[in-house]
Amino acid sequence: MSLPAQEKVTRDSAWKDTSTVSIRGARDSATMTRLYTRGMLDIADTIPDGFGYSKLPTPQPLHTVREDIDWNRFAISTGILGAAIGGIHLLQYNSWWKDQRGPFHIVDDQDYKANFDKYGHGFGAYYASHFFREAYTWSGFDDGQAVLLGAASACLWEFYVEIEDGFATSWGFSPSDAVADIVGSAFYVARNRIPFLRNFQYKWTYFPSNQLLEDRPDIPGQGLNPIDDYGGQYYWGVANINGLLPKSWQGVVPDWLGLAFGVGGDNLDAEDWSQRKLAYYIALDYDLSKVIPESNIGILNFIRRALEYWHFPAPAFRIQPDPRFFILFPFRMSIG
């Protein structure tokens, strides 16, 4: 069996596995060995005519990051994300950090807002992972790369916020906040990597609290904004009912209907922090990303996917404290 006069490994092909090619010449019994490794590009290898060979792997197509990325889209998405991050930074700086600058220090705030803020930190990293992933996917990264890079980018962003908190004189860097950030990003990766976990979603609801509307911050001079308005936030672990049913039963319950288990704050604006408690809920949930049909317009699909992380008003029952049924939570129409 013989080879062509020239065989080249170009950008459009690479060897599937690390392989040894033994080339024996007609006049020389010595063995020449070359290693071809996945991902090697722009290598021109000339094999003289008449040479025999052993174990020559079949070239496989290889799409490299450099070829697949649409750099124009990458620049656009980077600019949009940069502008969004810059805007959030200004909001946080003016609300939290502007008049709170001192040496870096660590304060683990387990009693702040009855520790409810950890749910917010986890969700912040989780939801941010989604938007970073959208940007990477739109730019041409494959799904596996986009998920990992999105989660890592979100975690770094959240960690930057924790570092800024470390220089605040009235609080500090909170290790438990940083752990919650990592958990949120890690769950995003796990949910997109383990099929069974796709039956579960982490969502939030927001309805402005009286503390925000009346501008009564915990720390005098601090500004309030929806990001840290924990009295108006609720976080939900949602199970997709249809996905958890036996296969023979699937289709009985609409795929967009879920069961949500929620946590919120109770009396989180109390001056006595020991009176601040958590409240627990169970509610119906509907996934608008499955209710709204897919569109041919990209931006509409982007919005549709983003809505998957929101728990919208629905019937709910507060388990504790003060059990009662809400007709359309979080609106205060209740029974009991």
Q: What is the secondary structure of 281-311 as a DSSP string?
A: EEEEEE-HHHHSPP-SSHHHHHHHHHGGGB-
Residue 95, both tokens? 């609300």
Give the pLDDT score at 67.
61
Q: Could you tell me whether strands 314-320 and 43-45 are parallel, antiparallel, or unpaired per DSSP bridges?
A: unpaired
pLDDT in tens, 53-93: 334 344 444 444 456 888 999 999 999 999 999 999 898 88
Residue 125, both tokens? 């990293």
pLDDT at 14 over 60: no
pLDDT in tens, 86-96: 999 898 888 88
pLDDT in tens, 177-220: 999 999 999 999 999 999 999 999 999 999 999 998 988 888 77
Work out the widest C-alpha separation in the chain, in whole angstroms.
Answer: 97
pLDDT at 17 over 50: no
Give the pLDDT score at 312.
94
pLDDT at 5 over 50: no
Whole-angstrom distance, CA of residue 271 vs CA of residue 273: 6
**Cα→Cα distances 307→123, 203, 250, 310, 329, Å:** 14, 9, 24, 5, 17
Confidence grade of residue 334 (pLDDT, cut at 50, 70, 90): low
Average pLDDT over residues 285-307: 92
Domain boundaries along the sequence of the chain: 7-60, 70-335
Give the residue among 154, 159, 146 at the shortest CA–CA distance from 127. Answer: 154
Range of lowest pLDDT (30-44, 89-103, 213-227, 298-312): 30-44
pLDDT in tens, 93-122: 888 888 888 899 998 877 788 889 999 999
Give the residue among 3, 55, 7, 56 at the shortest CA–CA distance from 25. Answer: 3
pLDDT at 132 over 90: yes
Whole-angstrom distance, CA of residue 262 vs CA of residue 279: 8
Whole-angstrom distance, CA of residue 281 vs CA of residue 321: 10
Give the pLDDT score at 42.
37
With both helix axes pointing from N to C terminus, report the angle between 175-193 and 143-165 in degrees, rounded to the nearest 10: 170
pLDDT at 40 over 70: no
Higher pLDDT, 217 or 4: 217
Give the pLDDT score at 69.
87
Name beta bridge partners: 3.
none
Higher pLDDT, 258 or 298: 258
pLDDT at 16 over 90: no
Name beta bridge partners: 20.
35
Whole-angstrom distance, CA of residue 72 vs CA of residue 80: 12
Mean pLDDT, the chain, integer: 81
pLDDT at 44 over 70: no
Exposed/middle/buried for residue 290 (C-beta within 10 Å: 0-12, 13-18, 19+): middle
pLDDT in tens, 235-261: 999 999 999 999 989 889 999 999 999
pLDDT in tens, 133-183: 999 999 999 999 999 999 999 999 999 999 998 898 888 899 999 999 999
pLDDT at 45 over 50: no
